Amino acid sequence: MNKTTSEPAVSARHGMPTAGAKYASYPTVNLPDRTWPSKVIEKAPVWCSVDLRDGNQALVNPMGHERKARMFRLLLDMGFKEIEIGFPSASQTDFDFARWCIENGDVPDGVDLQVLVQCRPELISRTFEALEGARTPIVHFYNSTSELQRRVVFEKDVRGIKRIATDAAKMITDMAAKAGGGYRFEYSPESFTGTELEVALEICNAVAEIVKPTPENKLILNLPSTVEMSTPNVYADRIEWMCLNLDNRENLIISLHPHNDRGTGIASTELGLMAGADRVEGTLFGNGERTGNVNIVTLALNMYTQGVDPMLDCTDINRMKDVYEYSNQLVIPERHPYVGELVYTAFSGSHQDAINKGMKAAAKANSPIWEVPYLPIDPQDVGRSYEAIIRINSQSGKGGIAYVLQADYGLNLPRNLQIEFSREVQAITDAEGKELPSSRIHDEFRKLYVDQPGARFKYVDHRTYPDEKVKGRRVLEATILDGGREVRVNGVGTGPIDSFVDALARHAGVEMSVLDYSEHSLQRGSDASAISYLEMEHGSGKLFGVGINTNISSASLEAVVSAANRIVGTTAG
């Protein structure tokens, strides 16, 4: 290929050779009227899974029959209409699996099995043996066409490489006709990204002329990014250029088969679809040679989040993950898009607060459109839950802690209590340096505000009656434990809480007054518990108390005791 020149790097760093002296930049495409940048993906492509071929050949321990069969069943259940089941001429294992799929795979109508074969006569013959009895199978034949491989691997010119492709096309179409028809055909100029566009065009047109595709039986022309060598926009340019220049385009299905050497396989595929491609070959979660094949699940769910039906069932992403990891004996990273263990969690306090508020706003709006900050997809759409959206560590904030307590335990903490308790949690996570599960956060909440082990005061009972001396005021008589000893206290106020605060303040010898109070039910039903939150001001500041009781009045008085215990502790300390 003709290479554009670039200025060499000013200097090498850390022992690396000067970039411009060792690597040539990839050529751009002269396509001034390109249209793909203004297009959007409006429908799903034809998907073809190559997990059982490209994915399998890239494994340290290739799949045996059981692992292949489990993957095959998942692909059918997801709705793939084309599945490459192997390279039957390459090994007896692949041959036997192809026969199993045809004879025992329960392949539904409308699903085409695809097999891969090099453009070699003996391999083609063996491939047709493997396909006997299959309905509309796809014979995918290929040969490498790149300038580098022509020069250093095959030592052939363009005419010689084209002859390999056309001879194979002639043999395959003849054998298909003798077998009674019903076959479909796919040709790949392998290493398309390393092939001059004019050469790729010449060879593809020559193959199509032999296959003679029709509207009823189109030829799949697969234009693979066998090695990702350029930025995604250049790949898109190449796809659009081919679509514009191929003969008989209306009877061709242009297929993409991107790899991920530069880490932009997803982008290359999406731009390639905008550039006119009709079909995508890839693997479920991107397993493949080197850095992998393109990730079909990510592509499909990217489309889904843009309002496009991906035509694949991804509603049970946990099952997809389990089968992938079982069959490939690989582990999906925690941050893998859509499926990773942590992709629906938030550790940052600001993220947690935004998610918490977004969830509440979404529930209130009752709109069909999903709009929650930091969550581009509703986890429930792929079979995940909200339970682990927020996890608490030293980077967490009040919003995340509040969400965990609300979602898992039904506690709707007032804002000031969120701020106060978040400082307590922060101190623990800073000291321990690790994440706190929601159960630990709840335990710490109860320990600080409700159970208060070793606390001085404990509420037992109370009664109230009108104050005979002052109209509109009430007297409260309460029984409490003070250091384990039962005592009676009396107070006067406008209501039970005010009266009890007066009684307890005089008994403990501290100043305190109520700043704010709120309450709610913890669960439905006649035996529902009530929880009371009470913000108290005292001599050196303000703090919260919390009470939980089946009786709302008792819950509020327990909240007063909770605050008093914390004030006494603060005063003593």
Global pTM value: 0.76
Identify the pLDDT of residue 19.
Answer: 85
DSSP characters for 487-511?
EEEEEEESSHHHHHHHHHHHHHT--
Q: Which CATH architecture has domain 457-572?
A: 2-Layer Sandwich (3.30)
Residues 6+ apart with CB under 8 A from 37: 233, 274
Range 341-353 average pLDDT: 82
- Residue (of 112, 243, 129, 269) closest to 185 by Cα position: 112
Query: Counting Cβ atoms within 10 Å, is residue 257 exposed (0-12), middle (13-18) or buried (19+)?
Result: buried
Confidence of residue 481 (pLDDT cuts 50, 70, 90): very high
What are the two backbone dihedrals, phi and then psi, of residue 68, each rounded to the nearest 5 degrees? -65, -45
Average pLDDT over residues 510-529: 83
Question: How far is it, in rounded angstroms, from Cα 547 to Cα 566?
Answer: 13
Evaluate whether 57 touches 289 at the Cβ level (below 8 Å). Answer: yes
How many whole angstroms separate alpha carbon 144 and alpha carbon 125? Answer: 20
Instruction: Tell me: pLDDT of 180 over 50.
Output: yes
CA gap 234, 94 in Å, rounded: 36
Separation of alpha carbons 87 and 123, rounded Å: 9
Report the chain's mean pLDDT, rounded to a whole number: 92
How do residues 236-258 score in pLDDT, each as one tens digit?
Answer: 999 999 999 999 999 999 999 99
Q: List the Cα angle 313/317/320 in 5-degree steps.
A: 90
pLDDT for 123-153, tens place per residue?
999 999 999 999 999 999 999 999 999 999 8
- Phi, psi for 534 (deg, rounded to 5): -130, 120
Q: Do 231 and 221 form a contact (C-beta atoms < 8 A)?
A: no
Query: What is the C-alpha separation between 243 and 250, in angstroms, rounded?
Result: 10
What is the per-residue pLDDT for 5?
45
Question: What are the residue ranges spanned by the domains of the chain?
Answer: 43-328, 349-451, 457-572
Long-range CB contact pairs, 337-342, < 8 A, 24+: 337/295, 337/298, 337/301, 338/297, 338/298, 338/301, 338/314, 338/377, 338/382, 339/285, 339/297, 339/382
**Residue pLDDT, tens place only, 410-454:** 999 999 999 999 999 989 988 998 888 889 999 999 999 999 999
Q: How far apart are the first and last CA of the chain?
A: 79
What is the structure's pLDDT at 13?
55
Distance between CA atoms of residues 211 and 251, nearest Å: 11
| Residue with token string 């003849």 | 174
Q: What CATH superfamily classification does 43-328 receive?
A: Aldolase class I (3.20.20.70)
